[in-house]
Structure 1
Amino acid sequence: MTELRDVVVCSPLRTPVGRFGGALAPVSALALAETVLRALLERTGLDPAAVDGVIGAQGYPSMEAPAFGRVAALNAGFPVTTTGYQLDRRCGSGLQAVLNAAMEVQTGVSDVVVALGAESMSNAPLYTEQGRRGLPPGGLMLHDALARGRATVGGRFHPSPEGNVGAAELLRREYGIPREAQDALALRSHRRAVAAQESGAFDAELVPVEVPGRRGPTVVDRDEHPRGDTTLEALAALRPMLGASDADATVTAGNASGQNDAAAAVVVTTPERAAELGLAPSLRLVSWAVAGNDPERFGVAPVPASNLALARAGLAMGDVDVIELNEAFAVQVLACLADWGLDAEDPRLNPRGSGISIGHPIGATGIRMLATLANELPAFDGTLALETMCIGGGQALAAVWERA
């Protein structure tokens, strides 16, 4: 068997993250993807003809852009020789695109692959599967793709009628995590993200987006989701989403991740090919792992995935300088930390915020996190980083990265 080649990622970039129905809502996921792909070519000077393929991650697609990676590449000016496809591993989609690209490069199938993640949750489709069979009694039922995806992700045998929020509340009961701890983590996340914004820490990874409007285009160049004005009192005043059915419910819009819009992309190649193309590697892939668990406990799946990725690298959690654990829910983060025996205020954990503050544009999140940690490691004089996220339906991904 041919020895696997080393893999590096170069120039991870992302658009700002928009709020649901916010500044980026007029822009489709495809347009966001095109924007970040064009910026990637411009900033790296990479000849698009050198790119073998674009792997596009998206959780809420439509047939406006089938085989998302291919369509986005063609629209962004890549040649017809650049292949592309689409994948969906829910919250892990962006990171999975990077890992699929890495496997192609490691095995020699490809030399240069662009991993792309994009989501416009503001424009997630409303759809029907009944229209082709005639009009049923009572008319056509339109499903909201966002809500439907959360309810069906566990399949027939693991239904989740209360969606991911119900699974988060299950962890609250199991781990005995109080509302106050969840709100405190949420506040800390916002404060870290706002501090990073104000210091310019995100500037290197951001790609401005031009948004059309009736009075002419505007430019969005700043994450819209972090809130500098939030307080513990404001968070405590929010009503739990399942409060009507559970008097002890604690999960609110304030201590859960947002529904967001963004795109992100990164070049995946070998160190040797990067040098030939004049690319500066940001990170080297050390190891990765995927794990599955009970869909109702998907929030703690990062624990086995991360433990396996670290073990494969011969490392322990104490060896890692930055821990990027996506904040799907504050309670879910706290449950993972409890299993690892880590403190919620560990300075290595999401030092510039995460899903609660920056946002969680499903298909883009994994590459957004990669772009952030690629800049965090040198800023904090670190060497190793762990990137991990839970995935609705009972999965998780984890990857160990080394500063290049």
Structure 2
Amino acid sequence: MEAVITDAKRTIFARENGLLKDCLPEDLAAPLIRHLSRNTPEDIDEVLIGNATGRGGNLARLSALAAGLPLSVSGTTIDRQCGSGLDAVRVACHFVKAGAGSTYIAGGAESSSRSPFSSRARFSPEHIGDPDMGIAAEYTAQAYGVTRKMQDEYALLSYERSVKAHEDGLYRREILPCHGFAADENMLKKRNMEPLISRAKPVFQSGGSVTAANSCGISDGAAAVCVMEEQKARSLGLKPGLRFIGSAVSGVHPHYPSAAPVYAVKICVFSQQLRVPYSKINVRGGALAVGHPYGASGAALVTRLFYEAKRRPDARYAAAAIGSGGGVGLALLFEVLT
């Protein structure tokens, strides 16, 4: 059995307490589920949705019902913090390969604006250390020699790529307009980021290197993909964009969660060293400019790869990787289908 991605969509990403502030997580996930299952609603085996700051309960089942899927379609909610949406896609792919089912909707949804929690969950026991993500980013930068200059240079590159992708209309293909919005909130106002990045002050540690300008913002949004058994997809006349090859999960010290994806990718691609040039990483920008809706971000990575694969028929493989609180990294490797 081979698992393939046949379709992918996301909502716009909005700032916390911004354009999507009135939407609950299920309000964000349901339109995507409805769209992705529009041709085969009776064939969906299960809906898997990642979420990190929701109100509890089974968000995936709630979202499936809100989307109008048959009552027979079950749902599973996954919490791997920032890796939740990517893990939902991972689980769906492995389900298909194992023959547990043939069609899944998998992704993530996050409404930071509607979170009932005043503080975050614990990532690690106190005797090990449980730093907030901003402080953990400082620890990682210090441990791995990532300077302020390096962070600022990459932040500017990422912003420029995101702005260009938005202006070229590339984001429009991956966004499903819903709730009256069709463009990422941060992309609606073009700004000269270079002076903002260079002048920003450290926000997490005195004398540190992590600033509001070289960090991703807290956001609301959702993303999801349709994972299907390849022969079934082709029998339905669908043209898959990505074929799942494998996945890997890694754990590192909770002080260094940003480093965790590196080790996961190394495992996934069976490489001893990971040396990927900037020219091949987040080529259309990413969370620094567009936003980071925790549980949805990993599914958004796969969505971006799905559409990028259509633009890059020369590419052979694509990888999505993400790190999360507690020092966990997750990576998925795909073959590009042309």
Are 1:148 and 2:139 counterparts?
A: no
CA shift for structure 1 position 258: 1.3
Q: Could you tell me how far apart the structure 2 residues matched to 1:242 and 1:284 are?
A: 40
The one of 68, 73, 98 equivalent to 2:64 is: 73
| Higher CA-based Rg | 1
Of 318, 327, 330, 1:394 maps to 327
Q: What's the counterpart of residue 327 of structure 1? A: none
Task: Give the structure 2 partner of residue 21 of structure 1.
Answer: 17
**SS in structure 1 opposite 2:287?**
coil
**Equivalent residues in 2 for 1:78-157, closer than 5 Å:** 78-126=69-117, 144=118, 147-149=119-121, 152-157=122-127
2:193 paired with 1:231? yes
- C-alpha separation in 1, matches of 2:286 and 2:152: 14
TM-score (norm 1): 0.79
Q: Secondary structure, in 3 states, of the residue corresponding to 1:340?
A: coil
1:159 matched residue in structure 2: 129
Is 1:49 matched up with 2:38? no
Which residue number in structure 1 is paired with residue 283 of structure 2? 351
Q: Could you report, residue by residue, the CA deviation over 1:308-327 in whole angstroms, capped at 9, with x for unpaired residues?
A: 1001xxxx59xxxxxxxxxx
CA distance in 1, matches of 2:68, 2:199: 49
Structure 1 residue 384 corresponds to structure 2 residue 314: no
Counterparts of 1:171-186 in structure 2, within 5 Å, are 171-186=140-155
Q: Would you say the 8 A contact 2:5–2:242 is kept in 1?
A: yes
For the 8 Å contact 1:191–1:228, the answer to whether it is kept is: no
**CA deviation after TM superposition for structure 1 residue 180, in Å:** 2.1
Deviations 1:160-184 (A, max 9, x none): 2x40111111122223332222112
CA distance in 2, matches of 1:57, 1:277: 28
Structure-1 residue corresponding to 2:51:
58
Shift of 1:341: 4.1
Correspondence for 2:336: 403
Do the aligned partners of residues 341 and 285 (structure 1) sit closer, same or farther apart at CA in structure 2, a change above 3 Å counting? closer
Q: Percent identity between the aligned chains?
A: 31
Task: Give the partner amino acid of 1:395.
Answer: V
Q: CA deviation at 1:109?
A: 1.3
Shift, 1:402, TM fit: 1.0
Task: Check conservation: 1:69, 1:116, Cα contact below 8 A.
Answer: no
TM-superposed deviation, 1:284: 0.2
Structure 1, residues 278-337: CA drift from partner, whole Å, max 9, x if none? 3321210011100001110111111211011001xxxx59xxxxxxxxxxxxxxxxxxxx
Cα deviation code 1:129-162 (max 9, x no counterpart) = xxxxxxxxxxxxxxx1xx422xx111343332x4
- The whole-number CA distance in structure 2 between the counterparts of 1:276 and 1:290 is 33
Q: Partner letter of residue 251 of structure 2? A: G
In structure 2, the residue corresponding to 1:401 is in which secondary structure?
strand
Q: Residue 12 of structure 1 aligns to which amino acid in structure 2?
A: A
**Which amino acid is 1:269 matched to?**
M
Matching of residue 307 in structure 1 with residue 307 in structure 2: no
Q: Distance in 2 between matches of 1:88 and 1:30?
A: 15
Q: Which amino acid aligns with 1:159?
A: G
1:371 maps to 303
The separation in 2 between residues aligned to 1:175 and 1:396, in whole angstroms, is: 16
Contact between 2:137 and 2:210, CA under 8 Å: does it hold in 1? yes
Tell whether the 8 Å contact from 1:8 to 1:282 is kept in structure 2 after alignment.
yes
SS in 2 for 1:262: strand
1:222 to 175, 183, 187: 183
Q: Decide whether aligned partners of structure 1 residues 67 and 278 sit closer, same or farther in structure 2, where only a CA change above 3 A counts.
A: farther
In structure 1, distance between residues paired with 2:192 and 2:98? 48
- Residue 233 of structure 2: aligned partner: 274
- Matched length: 335
| 2:211 corresponds to | 252
Partners of 1:114 and 1:68 in 2: how far apart? 13
- 1:367 Cα deviation after fit: 1.1
Q: The residue matched to 1:266 in structure 2 has which SS?
A: strand
Q: Distance in 2 between matches of 1:12 and 1:342?
A: 25
Unaligned runs of 5+ in 1: 127-143, 211-218, 318-338
- Residue 157 to residue 225, structure 1, CA distance change in 2 (3 Å): farther
Contact 1:190 1:228 (8 Å CA) reproduced: no
1:165 partner amino acid = G
Q: 1:114 to 1:169 in 2, by over 3 A?
A: same
Partner-residue secondary structure (3-state), 1:369: helix
2:151 and 2:109 map into 1 onto residues whose CA distance is 28
